[in-house]
Amino acid sequence: MPFTTVKVIEGVFSKEQKAQLIEKITEAMIEVEGEGMRDLTWVVIEEVKPGDWAIAGKPISPKPKPKNP
């Protein structure tokens, strides 16, 4: 049973974007594993709080989203 975990910074992706990630990751797994694995393919998106994620020893936070005019 394929189990995929995707970690993202909390608040960066909308509900719709997370749904797209889930769909596309599932489709990628099915492309490799075969259609019979669809019902067994799990995708979990875990949100990590800003500041609890670091690269090269430095905490990162998402860049502010631009406001729509």
Residues 20-44 have pLDDT tens digits of 999 999 999 999 999 999 999 999 9
Q: Which of 2, 50, 59, 64 is catalytic?
A: 2
Predicted model pTM: 0.78
The CATH class that applies to domain 3-50 reads: alpha beta
Buried b (16+ CB within 10 A) or exposed e, 35-57: eeeeeebebebeeeeeeeeeeee
Q: Where are the domains of the chain?
A: 3-50
Active site residue 2: yes
pLDDT tens track for 1-20: 889 999 998 988 999 999 99
